[in-house]
Every structure is written in C-alpha cells, then in structure tokens.
Amino acid sequence: MDKISVSKPKKFKRNLIILTVLFLIVASAWFAGFNVIEVMINLNKGSRLLGRMFFPPDLSYLPNIVDPMVETVRMAIVGTFIGATLALPVAVLAANNFIKSKFLHGPLRIILNIFRTIPALVLASLFVAVFGTGPFSGVVALSIFTFGLVSKLTYETIEAIDYGQVEALMSLGANKMNILRYAIMPQILPQYMSYTLYGFEVNIRAAAVLGYVGAGGIGQTFEFNLAWRNFDRVGTIIIFSFFIVLIIDLISSSIRKRLV
Amino acid sequence: MIEFKNVSKTYDNGVKALENINLTINEGEFVAIIGLSGAGKSTLLRLINKLIESTGGEVFFDGISVTKATGRDLISIRRQIGMIFQGFNIVKRMSVLSNVLSGRVAYNPTWKTILGLFPEEDKQIAYRALKRVDILEKVHNRASDLSGGQQQRVAIARALAQEPKIMLADEPVASLDPITTVQVMDYLKKINVEDGITTVSNLHHVDLALKYATRVVGIKEGKVVYDVQMVDIKKEKFYEDLEIVYGRPVHHDEVLGDK
C-alpha cells in the first residue's frame, strides 16, 4: 500500500504561546518581588506559627465562637436572599430575548458587570464607612455581590432557553407576563436556584473574612485574636470555619446536583 | 377565512422568503403546504398568526387584518388560532394539565393565570381536549416524561383548549416515527372533520398530503406554484405534478409509505 505523506502540523504558533505565557509568569514573579530564598527562610517561621495554632488548638475557646459563626451564616443567608431576589427581575430585563431593546440591555449589563467585579471585601469596607461597623454593612455588601453574580448567570440562562416554547405561548395569545410565567420561568427556575445556592457557598466564605474590615461575623473575632497573638484560638477559629464551610458546601452542592 | 393579499417577506439578512403571495383558505379546508426546505413554508404559516411580520401586503383572518393588529387585538386573533410545531414546544417542566391549561391564558385575567388559577370550566375544557386525543390518563404527568408522539398529542390538546377556528401545524410529524405519524395525522384529520376546524399544515411527506389534505398548495422559492383541490385530481397526476413544486421527481425520502 502507498504511504500517505501529510505535511507536518505547524507548531510555531503553539510554541510562541507557550513561551509568552512562561515569560509572563517569570516576569510577574520578578516584579512582585517573589523570591524563593525568602520563602525558604520564612518557611521555618511559618511552621512555628502553624505549630502554635494547631498543635494544639485551644478548643476550650470553641463555645465563644459559636455566636459569631452563627452571625456569619446569617449574614450569608440574608445577603444571598436579598441579592438573589433582586437579581431575578433584573435578569429578565437584561436578557435580550425577552424585551428587545438595546437601550435597556447595554446600560443594565454595564451596571451588573460593575457590581459583579467589585470584590465583596471592597464593598464591605465601603459600607462600613457608610453604615458603620457591624453585620448590617456585611449583609449589604453580600447582597450587592450576590445580585451581580446571580443576575449575570441568570440572564445568560434566559438567553439560552428553548425559544420554541416562547413561540408556542405567543401563538396561544399569551402576553409578556404569561410568557414569563409559562415559557421562561419553568425553563430557568432550576438553574436560578442553583446559582443562588452557589452564591450562598461563595457568600459563606466571603462572610467569614468580612469581619476583617469590621463588617461583622467570625472575621471580627479572628482579627481580634490575631492582633492579640492568641494563635491557639486562631487555630480553633480556622478549624471551625473550615468545617462549617465544608458542610455547607457539601449540602449545597448535593442539592444543586439534583436541581439541574 | 384566511386571506393573503400580495404578501411578501424579506428577512433582515436580505433573504427573500416569500414574494407576492395571494392565497385564500376557506373554512373547513385541510390544506397541506408542500415544498423544499427553505421554500418559505414555515414563514407562510407564521404570517397567519403574526409570529413573523410581513414586509409587504396584508394577511386577513375572518376579514380582520392580522398584519395591522397589535396588543389586545393581536392576542384576540391569536387565541382563535391554534398552532402545533415540529419540536412540540410544550413546556417540559410542567404537568400535562398545566400545559393544556396554558391554552386558556388569553381568556383569563393575567393576575389569575400568573397564579395558576383557572376556572373549573377551563379545566373541563382541558380534560375534554386531552380526552379528544386519548391521553387523559397522563393528565398529572410531567410533560418531559412523555414520548414524542404523546407530547405532540398534548400540544394538540393545548391548541384545542383555545377552542380555535384554525389549526396551524408546522411540520407536525417530522420528528415522529411512521406509526406515531399516522396517529397524529389521524387526530388532526378527526378534529378537522368533526369540529370543522380549518387546518393548514406544512408537510414534508407528499403521500401524507395526498392522504389527509383536501387541498395541496406548493411553494417554490417563495412563490405559490401549485394549488389543487384533491377531489379533482388522480394520484398519478398528483405525483407527476409534484415536479412543478420540487423541480425534480419526488425523492423516496419525501414519501413516508409506498407511492
């Protein structure tokens, strides 16, 4: 049989991309002042600190952190609820297949993107400045962050629905509200609830650090103990937070799997 | 009943789907629209209930201009026109009953339909519609649990719940196997004959047109090129004539059974 000869694949472009990425990593490390030797020296210091935190942690401190932890979870729940509730109607307006108006979608999306891009921690420090310290500022920050996240994911889902069902409802003489209720909501509701739960998972983690800027929750206790160098208590806080986040993540993601 | 007057449709991308269509569909007819894919069959059907807007001419339903209707007027036209689709387009995550009841939305105030509140008469209409297509026993099933043929029957029941004067069918059996195809077509025919609902259906299979339609309209490149009453024509002549519509002899995949 004749041997088939094919031209060699062109690898130049691929190699160029690999080299560029490598260069960017090295250059960034250099600019950021990353230094392997310094890491090695501090490794010793770090391991001593870890030792004081976890070997052993001060478990007798556990009862004192239950309340702040409950506050953290509450902040996440309320923030997720408010943000996700506001996100649904806004997502409907932002989707380009429900209301066909470029004047509406463009500006709305820019606003949503801004909300989504600002980290919750930055929002929280902003609101601490406005509303003062305490969980209220944290809740406002988490609400806005969740709103940005869930509305974006939801409007993208609305844009990807099976339009045939919308067309069928139109042919029945359905108005916009009925189309929303009978053709769009049934298609997006499971995803929307899944995004809300995902937002909740993210918020639990965010809420745990928000206290660092004074926005309530376990982070405040963490910061206090770190400042007083109560490392064994810090260790307890970290272990406790880890388990709470883990458990909530496990429950939430198992629900999400069933939803979609 | 339905009248096309010099109707044209050019899409935004410049594609001329229909050109200067003049066509009158009379009460009680079962009209099959045939033609190659891309000939403009779907567009023609969607102009009747303004799912697509024409770019020229005017479509009339019972003497009222569909082309000029908007808002409430359009809704009251649409609710008299049932439509079923190739992809069934029932709402899969709702129950069969909710799907059929959604055929009643245009007869009820919006705040009620949003809450899913339908009067008992409407439920009776829905049950009767489901019974009509022999699928009443699935009333509480989730629509996604049904087979394709069953889903299309639910779609027919939803359209029947509108108590329509006209039934539009856009390739109603193109996603179905030959046996369910015959079932679905039989239901459409039954509704046409027993209830006197004017039926307009796009059909890919010409032998289905021959078997079920009282009139066949052929579309080629956006124009009506063929229009015949089936009582007037013999089977052999019909197959011969199809060259006018297809520009070639009929392919065997355009015939479901035997020629």
ipTM (interface pTM):
0.91
| Chain B contact set for A177 (CB, 8 A) | 110, 114
State yes or no: pLDDT of B247 exceeds 90: no
* Alpha-carbon span B92 to B190, nearest angstrom: 26
Among B47, B88, B93, pick the best mutation site for testing chain A contact (most A Cβ within 10 A).
B93
Cβ atoms of residues A196 and A86 within 8 Å: no
What pLDDT sits at residue B258?
A: 56
* Alpha-carbon span A171 to B162, nearest angstrom: 10
Judged by phi (left if over 0) then psi (alpha if -120 to 50, else beta), residue B195 lies in alpha
How many residues make up chain A in this entry?
260
B101-115 confidence digits (pLDDT tens): 999 999 999 999 999
Q: How confident is the model at residue B219 (pLDDT cuts 50, 70, 90)?
A: very high
Q: How confident is the model at residue B197 (pLDDT cuts 50, 70, 90)?
A: very high
Among A157, A163, A172, pick the best mutation site for testing chain B contact (most B Cβ within 10 A).
A172
CA end-to-end span of chain B: 32
CB contact under 8 A, A173 and B105: yes
- H/E element, B202: strand B198-202
State yes or no: pLDDT of A60 exceeds 90: no
Comparing CA positions, the residue from A101, A221, A182, A199 lying closest to residue A143 is A199
**3-class SS of residue B16:** strand
**What is the torsion angle, in degrees rounded to the nearest 10, for the CA atoms of residue B174, residue B148, residue B195 and residue B170?**
-30
| Chain A contact set for B12 (CB, 8 A) | none
* Alpha-carbon span A155 to A146, nearest angstrom: 14
CB contact under 8 A, B85 and A174: no
B10-47 confidence digits (pLDDT tens): 999 988 899 999 999 999 999 999 998 888 899 999 99
Q: Which residues are A83's β-sheet partners?
A: none
Residue range A1-6: average pLDDT?
Answer: 82
What pLDDT sits at residue B233?
A: 84
Alpha helices in A132-184 (DSSP H): 135-159, 163-171, 176-179
A62-116 confidence digits (pLDDT tens): 888 899 899 999 999 999 999 999 999 999 999 988 888 878 888 888 888 888 8
CB contact under 8 A, A178 and B90: no
Higher pLDDT, A41 or B196: B196
Comparing CA positions, the residue from A182, A243, A257, A250 lying closest to residue A59 is A243
| Chain B contact set for A186 (CB, 8 A) | 91-94
∠ Cα A231 A232 A238 (to 5°): 85
What pLDDT sits at residue B112?
A: 93
Q: Which of A171, A181, A190 sits opposite B83 (nearest CB)?
A: A171
State yes or no: pLDDT of A13 exceeds 90: no
The pLDDT mean for chain B works out to 91
What pLDDT sits at residue A224?
A: 87
The residues, any chain, with a CB within 8 Å of residue A258's CB and separated by 6 or more, are none
The residues, any chain, with a CB within 8 Å of residue A99's CB and separated by 6 or more, are A92, A93, A176
CA distance B122 to chain A (A): 15
Chain B contact for A92 (CB, 8 A cutoff): no
* Alpha-carbon span A185 to B255, nearest angstrom: 40
CA distance A86 to chain B (A): 19
* Alpha-carbon span A201 to B166, nearest angstrom: 52
Higher pLDDT, B167 or A57: B167
| Chain B contact set for A169 (CB, 8 A) | 102, 105
CB contact under 8 A, A182 and B81: no
CA distance B192 to chain A (A): 19
Lowest mean pLDDT among A4-13, A87-96, A133-142, B209-218: A4-13
Judged by phi (left if over 0) then psi (alpha if -120 to 50, else beta), residue B89 lies in left
Record the tokens describing residue A194, joined without a space: 């899944």
| Chain B contact set for A157 (CB, 8 A) | none
Comparing CA positions, the residue from A185, A164, A97, A258 lying closest to residue B98 is A185
What pLDDT sits at residue B245?
A: 86
How many residues make up chain B in this entry?
259
| Chain B contact set for A190 (CB, 8 A) | 93
Record the tokens describing residue B56, joined without a space: 């020229």
Among A165, A171, A194, pick the best mutation site for testing chain B contact (most B Cβ within 10 A).
A171
What pLDDT sits at residue A150?
A: 94
State yes or no: pLDDT of A229 exceeds 80: yes
Exposed, middle or buried, A49 (CB in 10 Å: 0-12/13-18/19+)?
Answer: middle
Compute how many other C-beta atoms are within 10 angstroms of the C-beta atom of residue A119: 12
Domains of chain A: 56-259 (1.10.3720.10)
Chain B contact for A230 (CB, 8 A cutoff): no
Record the tokens describing residue A51, joined without a space: 């030792």
% of chain B surpassing 70 pLDDT: 99
Lowest mean pLDDT among A159-168, A214-223, B36-45, B146-155: A214-223
The pLDDT mean for chain A works out to 89
Compute how many other C-beta atoms are within 10 angstroms of the C-beta atom of residue A19: 10
Could you identify the residue written with the tokens 């002042």? A33
B43-70 confidence digits (pLDDT tens): 999 999 999 999 989 999 999 999 999 8
A214-239 b/e with 16+ CB inside 10 Å = b? bbbbbbbbbbebeeeebbbbbbbbbe
A42-53 confidence digits (pLDDT tens): 888 888 888 888
| Chain B residue whose CA is closest to A174 | B106
Domains of chain B: 1-80+192-259 (3.40.50.300), 85-163 (no CATH)
